[in-house]
Amino acid sequence: MRAPPAPAVRAPVMVQDWRLLTFVHWRYPADAVQALLPPGLRVQTFDGDAWIGLVPFLMRRVGPPGVPPLPWLSQFPETNVRAYVPGPDGGGGVWFLSLDAARLPAVVAGRAGYGLPYCWSKMTVRSAGGHLTYHSRRRWPAPAGAGCEAHVVVGRRFDDGDLTALDHFLTARFRLYSVLAGRLVAADADHPPWPLFRAALPDLRQDLVQAGGLPAPDGEPLLHASPGVRVRIGMWRPAAR
């Protein structure tokens, strides 16, 4: 099964690479996730369950289009905790419970300019011989000390025919939502289909999901890894409710 196509963002306000990702997903009761969403959004379920994603990765070449990236400011680790909501056209959207990033200016800009719940964290992402290791420990705001330690072993690539509707439900997400000045807004993210790989998770210690307002995950997570894609992000616009 092929992934649904991304919307075309013809005039991006930001471009960036999302690299060395791992998608870690758990099932949750839909009402527990719905309680964390703002008015105007409803949780999107798959076979009756909501899903929460923990996604650590490396941001690279971050900046406005046509502007050379600044070496220090344009590359940093990030880890987000996200819930899933339907877009008005039936496509998949994302509501972020938190976004931890290692660059304080990016955190301040994300909170002030985009209304996103960015947090400043001490973070690293390392890749060697098919192994990915992630470290994050929150500095600000509360709860300080929340974080994630993960060791991921990347396996073989999924063929298109191996990917299921659930795989695409969890990863093919091209719209993000936020609240700015009391209004629900949305922006599109345009990128090629994810190159997705199987993954194993021999070690995971995290409390970012709990810091986002949910009980600790229960059961084995569903995993996907990806070397990443280049992303074009559009302007915020009022969201259809």
Read off the pLDDT band of 90 (50, 70, 90).
Answer: low
Evaluate if residue 124 carries a pLDDT over 60.
Answer: yes
pLDDT at 89: 62
Q: Is pLDDT of 4 > 90?
A: no
Q: Is the pLDDT of residue 20 over 90?
A: yes
46-80 pLDDT, tens digit each: 999 999 999 999 999 999 999 988 887 889 999 99
Q: Which residues pair with 15 in a beta bridge?
A: 63, 232
Residue-averaged pLDDT of the chain: 94
The percent helix, strand, coil of the chain (3-state, each to 5) is: 10, 50, 35
Which pLDDT belongs to residue 1? 78
Find all residues with CB under 8 Å of 58, minimum gap 6, and list them.
18, 19, 20, 75, 76, 77, 78, 125, 228
pLDDT at 17 over 70: yes
Could you tell me the domains of the chain?
Answer: 14-238 (2.40.400.10)
- Whether the per-residue pLDDT at 194 is higher than 80: the answer is yes
Q: Which residues pair with 26 in a beta bridge?
A: 52
Tens-place pLDDT, residues 147-168: 999 999 999 999 989 999 999 9
Say which amino acid occupies 202: P
Q: Which two tokens stand for residue 171?
A: 């990863």
pTM for this structure?
Answer: 0.96
User: Both tokens of residue 153?
Assistant: 């072993």
DSSP symbols for 25-90: EEEE-HHHHHTTSPTT-----BTTBEEEEEEEEEEEEEESTTSPPPTTTT-EEEEEEEEEEE-TTS
Which residues are CB-contacts of 5 (< 8 A; sequence separation ≥ 6)?
Answer: none
Determine the Cα–Cα distance for residues 93 and 221; give it in Å rounded to an integer: 21
Residue pair 224/54 in contact by the 8 Å Cβ criterion: no
